[in-house]
Amino acid sequence: MTDGEFSCDLRVYIEDTDAGGIVYYVNYLKFMERARTEFMRSLGFGKDYIFNHDLMFVVRDVAVEYRRPAQLDDELQATAAIARLGGASMVFSQVVKRAGDILAQGEVTVACVDRSGVRPRRLPPDMAGALQAASPAGGQQQ
């Protein structure tokens, strides 16, 4: 992680592409999901933590700008950074790039809910603190 931006490497496989060998648009969302998941895991908030704290994260809003296509066998980097942090939600700024060229970028709003009732709940204090510390500007509060 550099300057609050987490990055993970990906490779484009045949199942990521359409009949023309171009990455199907919805798969960029999957690449972004992987970056968010690995970002949270890098902070100590993997699946075990989330299940043990009766949490779930749900995507509330997505805005993506597609700039250039990725193709079969490309090596990509997907990034995730906290743009804004709220009491029960966070907005991630995300980019998918190839060799430094931006292919897709966007913002994804994720809400924290309890697993049992799927109702909004505040982020646990240790998680909120770690996310704030990991964000570029200290995680602007919403």
Distance separating alpha carbons of residues 75 and 98, to the nearest angstrom: 6
Phi, psi of 126 (to 5 degrees): -65, -35
Catalytic site includes residue 61: no
From 3, 9, 18, 54, the catalytic residue: 18
Contacts of 107 (CB under 8 A, 6+ apart): 61, 62, 63, 83, 91, 92, 93, 94
Give CA–CA dist 16/121, Å, rounded.
34
pLDDT at 2 (0 to 100):
59
Q: Which residue numbers in the chain have pLDDT < 70?
A: 1-3, 137-142
* Residue 22 confidence (pLDDT): 96
Q: Which domains does the chain have, with CATH numbers?
A: 6-134 (3.10.129.10)
User: In the numeric block, which tokens belong to residue 116?
Assistant: 């049992």
First to last CA, the chain: 23
28: how many CB neighbours lie within 10 A of its CB?
Answer: 22
- pLDDT at 78 (0 to 100): 98
pLDDT for 15-56, tens place per residue?
A: 999 999 999 999 999 999 999 999 999 999 999 999 999 999
